[in-house]
Amino acid sequence: MIKLCGISKFYSTGYVKTFVLRNIDLEVAEGEFMTIMGPSGAGKSTLLHILGMLDTPSEGQYFFDDKPVHTFDERRLTELHKHQIGFVFQSYHLIDDLTVYENLETPLLYKKIKGTERKGLVAEALDRFHMVAKKDLFPHQLSGGQQQRAAIARALITKPRLILADEPTGNLNSKEGKEVMEMFAELNASGTTIIQVTHSEQNAAYGRKTIHLLDGWIQP
Ligand SMILES: Nc1ncnc2c1ncn2[C@@H]1O[C@H](COP(=O)(O)OP(=O)(O)O)[C@@H](O)[C@H]1O
Ligand SMILES: [Mg+2]
């Protein structure tokens, strides 16, 4: 599904280049559940954003289903992201002045999915993520666990083939965190590819494979 060849990311300030990722080679097969670990500042979020097409590498090649993503312009990247990828952030990124229902509806509006089908998909997601009773509430009226559940429901509503999750349980208590991980395990069992960033060995144990990043390098 995914192949990275020699991916680097750096920021230039004057004559100084600061490398965040260095010469990353990585393959991710369809159906994989992969964990990325490493200390703060190692480049984990940057790698996940590049995989999610929310950021572009400075050097190297990225193939998604053998398509050369590194040659795509922003419009094509957005299009691919929208149809294939669900991104879950540590801090939920729900839209504050939209209700849970409206937050879930947003990606479907972007995908131009029509009224009846859209309503059906939102209803199904509310049901599946046990948010029916919360659908008219705003994010600030929910607990952290409920907000993350809504954010995950929103990331999954378009039925993406790939889920990228950046410390998804970082702001949750252990019960809420476990719920999120079990949800991922279930999705993975039904074929969804998952790449998660976590500091928790317990969360990493849900995955099948772990890579370690340090100062932008993948550790052997
Ligand atoms: N826009 C930017 N400009 C300059 N440096 C950045 C920028 N974004 C991230 N960095 C740097 O890249 C490094 C890796 O960041 P990040 O990928 O967020 O690491 P992690 O998620 O592993 O904590 C950090 O040292 C950070 O300061
Ligand atoms: Mg990070």
Any atom of ligand 1 within 6 Å of the Cβ of 20: yes
pLDDT in tens, the chain (220 residues): 999 999 999 999 999 999 999 999 999 999 999 999 999 999 999 999 999 999 999 999 999 999 999 999 999 999 999 899 999 988 889 999 999 999 999 999 988 899 999 999 999 999 988 899 999 999 999 999 899 899 999 998 998 999 999 999 988 888 888 988 998 999 999 999 999 999 999 999 999 999 999 999 999 8
Domains and CATH numbers, the chain: 2-218 (3.40.50.300)
Ligand 1 center–CA 156 separation, angstroms: 27
Any atom of ligand 1 within 6 Å of the Cβ of 42: yes
Ligand 1 center–CA 85 separation, angstroms: 22
Determine the pLDDT at residue 172: 84
Residue 137 exposed, middle or buried by CB count within 10 Å (0-12, 13-18, 19+):
middle
Residue whose CA is at the smallest distance from ligand 1 atom 1 = 11
Nearest to 39 by CA among 199, 192, 183, 172: 199
Nearest to 207 by CA among 85, 28, 65: 28
Determine the pLDDT at residue 171: 84
Ligand 2 center–CA 85 separation, angstroms: 18
Nearest to 86 by CA among 29, 161, 190, 26: 161
Which residues are within 5 Å of ligand 2 (an ion), measured at CB?
A: 45
Ligand 1 center–CA 48 separation, angstroms: 12
Three-point CA angle 24, 27, 31, nearest 5°: 140
Ligand 1 center–CA 214 separation, angstroms: 12
Any atom of ligand 1 within 6 Å of the Cβ of 46: yes
Any atom of ligand 1 within 6 Å of the Cβ of 162: no
Q: Which of ligand 1's atoms lies nearest the C-alpha of 216?
A: 14
Any atom of ligand 1 within 6 Å of the Cβ of 11: yes
Residue 207: φ, ψ to 5°: -85, 175
Any atom of ligand 1 within 6 Å of the Cβ of 44: yes
Q: Which of ligand 1's atoms lies nearest the C-alpha of 39?
A: 22
Determine the pLDDT at residue 91: 85
